[in-house]
Amino acid sequence: MVVKLEKPEQYKEFLDKFDVFLFDCDGVLWSGKDPLPGVKKTMELLRSSGKQVYFVSNNSTKSREDYMKKINAHEIEAKLEEIYPSAYSSAIYVKKVLNLPEDKKVFVLGEGGIEVELDRVGVKHIGGTDASLRCAVTSEDLDNIRPDPSVGAVLCGMDRHVTYKKYCMAYQYLQDPDCAFLLTNQDSTFPTNGTFFPGSGSVSYPLIFSTGRTPKVLGKPNDEMMEAIVASVHFDRKKACFVGDRLNTDIEFAKNSGLGGSLLVLTGVSKENEIYEKDAPVVPDYYINSLGDLANVA
């Protein structure tokens, strides 16, 4: 039974039910460059009530430090150890789960956030922001592509500088069945300033199509993201609630991770009518017009 939170007494009952709140960022705390009304007050209320707060994003372009600066710029308190972007969870996966040998490297189809987090956990990498890959490609260039035999994984994330040359390099590495194929997340789009653009899943699709391989997805809605979180902080999942704006990533993530609850806000991707559609992929336990509304608790 989906519950729409509309009254102050409902807000209080909802907040009293959970000890831990995990938040998506874009479309929940802000939209584009603009903070969403009332969010600062809601976050202050949670802190003053002794709630644990974490920030979980599929955005792989930013490191934890980048995210902390952005969250703080909106006058929302955030500590480094509370922030889990997909670049970080992916780096943790490569290091601790994949156990990539020290003599192996990761080819990155993505941006600087991934590189920063791989560096932080001591994983070697190539590709990524390498300026030599940001160029048009001639037939001669293709003839001269020589894969690095030390590459043991291809990690794909959002890449706003994606080029055919990057795809060619990644494709060559993925011809080796022992080379791991990893995605930071599979979001088809991302929201900004009231509109949408192709997301990480769209960037990676040419490789999925051309190689015929199925990648391991490390971000929401997969539980690998939650495993990266609980590897460093401990809490009762049944007393935790995920707050997001997207049914097929945020709310599904809450279900896949066995959290006690999920809250959909209507300030981002998913809209109210989608909750009640017969083919809705998953539905939230609660939904609300805006996260800022919770500040009006009774």
Catalytic residue among 19, 26, 130, 148: 26
Active site residue 26: yes
279 assigned to active site: no
Considering the candidates 16, 24, 143, 159, report the single residue annotated as catalytic: 24
282: left (phi over 0), alpha (psi -120 to 50) or beta: beta
Q: Which of 97, 96, 95 is nearest to 106 (CA)?
A: 95
3-state secondary structure of 46: helix
Q: Which residues of 226-243 are buried (b: 16+ CB within 10 A; e: fewer)?
A: bbbbeeeeeeeeeebbbb
Amino acid in the structure at residue 77:
E
Q: Measuring CA to CA, which residue among 221, 183, 225, 174 is closest to residue 204?
A: 183
Output Rg (C-alpha) for the chain, integer angstroms: 20
Q: Which of 278, 228, 226 is nearest to 249 (CA)?
A: 226
Q: Residues marked as binding? A: 24, 26, 57-59, 220, 245
The single-letter code of the amino acid at 46 is L
Q: Does the bond joining 191 to the residue before it have cis omega, within 30 degrees of 0?
A: no
Phi first, then psi: what are they for 217, rounded to 5°?
Answer: -95, 125
Annotated binding site for substrate: 57-59, 220
> Distance between CA atoms of 54 and 57, rounded to whole angstroms?
10
Binding residues for Mg(2+): 24, 26, 245
Residue 132 and residue 102 in contact, taking contact as beta carbons nearer than 8 Å: no
Catalytic residues: 24, 26
